[in-house]
Amino acid sequence: MTFSCPSNLYASVFETSKQCRERSNIKVERDAITRFLTNLTQESWSKHSIANGMSFPLRFESLEQEVNILSLIDILNTGHGFRKELHEDSDRGAFETIVFGAMSFHISNTPTTAVRLSKLTAWEVGSHFGITMQKDMPSELEHVTLSKPSVASKLAGQIQGVLNETGRILQEKGFETLGAFVIDAAKRAQGSGEKFAEILINTFPAFQDYAEIDGQTVYIFKKALLLASSLERRFAATEKIFAFTDIKDSPIFADNVIPSLMAHLGILILPDNLKHAIEEGGVTTVEESYRLRAAAIDGCREIVEIANNSKESKVGSVNYGEKGMLNVDLDVYLWRVAKEPQYRKLPRFACKDTIFF
């Protein structure tokens, strides 16, 4: 059955996320939001809320080639559940692993055409992304070890699945690369990041980030919304097709980092059945992950709402710019702050059974 995006994509994400948070008994603590905004400094906001739109020190021969690499990084932006294993094997986290693999394709001149993507093997993925596929394990026999698939090899299989599927769809649509499709989608979107994301979601299952929770649909769409924002930040000043004027209305790009940080800051108050998510080694089910990610979207919406009404409520003194605080900027801020030394070691929930974050 062909998936079809809801109308009013942004509003649907906000609405269904709020409903999911409320059904999940996750509370947004407004007093904690007030403390967060009161303690927020201009220096910290200016330092952490500005993203470069994924600009890398690589040479690209054309706009399509660069957009292709950035789009591959985004559609593969997953693997958080394998963070521990990836750090043990290569001292790289999930996002660093995805970037490493995409750069490996580019630097080694490995074709990333639709045909080539559709035929990539898991072992080729492991090689490019630096994922250990096999590990020697002790056996019952003395001095004998057995080679078995590593835990992280599951991630290689997930990446392979996304790339193979993406390649097949691109061939069906008549596009040689994902970059070519993305440029065409931007042209069709006519300046709307919302419409651009809708085109991606309706075309590629790897962007169809939604779930049925408590009998109700919850829309997250992290990767599609993130790609729209990243391309707007990277190219809006030079490429008119990526100057999406409605990015200011976009929800955040909910992963495991932001809801975990928000819970540690006391902004999200979790019920007893979800508190394990922010404890050491907090493994979550796919359903629990959607509940937490939906809560982060709604919690950030409330933070933005309060921050932009600060003249009335007198909360904080930060200048967020002409458009006020935006969800996309708050997303970048929280994600980057979570990587700072004082927060980096805080537990984050993890789910290996997803390709969406």
183 close to 63: Cβ distance less than 8 angstroms: yes
Q: Report the pLDDT value the prediction gives residue 310, as an integer from 0 to 100.
A: 58
Question: What is the pLDDT tens value at each position of the chain, 357 positions in all?
Answer: 689 999 899 999 999 999 999 999 999 999 999 999 999 999 999 999 987 778 888 899 999 999 999 999 999 999 999 999 999 989 999 999 999 999 999 999 999 999 999 999 999 999 999 999 998 777 676 766 777 889 999 999 999 999 999 999 999 999 999 999 999 999 999 999 999 999 999 999 999 999 999 999 999 999 999 999 999 999 999 999 999 999 999 999 999 999 999 999 999 999 999 999 999 889 999 999 999 999 999 999 999 999 998 555 567 789 999 999 999 999 999 999 999 999 988 999 999 999 999
Q: Report the pLDDT value the prediction gives residue 1, as an integer from 0 to 100.
A: 66
Q: Which residues pair with 149 in a beta bridge?
A: 134
**Strand, helix or coil at 210?**
strand
DSSP 196: H
Radius of gyration of the chain (CA): 21
196 close to 244: Cβ distance less than 8 angstroms: yes
DSSP 6: P
CB-based burial label for 338 (10 Å; 0-12, 13-18, 19+)? buried
DSSP-H helix ranges across 76-113: 83-90, 94-107
Q: How many CA atoms lie within 13 A of 90 on its CB side?
A: 21
Q: Report the pLDDT value the prediction gives residue 7, as an integer from 0 to 100.
A: 85
What pTM was estimated for this model as a whole? 0.94
Give the residue from 114, 103, 108, 105 showing the smallest Cα distance to 54.
Answer: 103
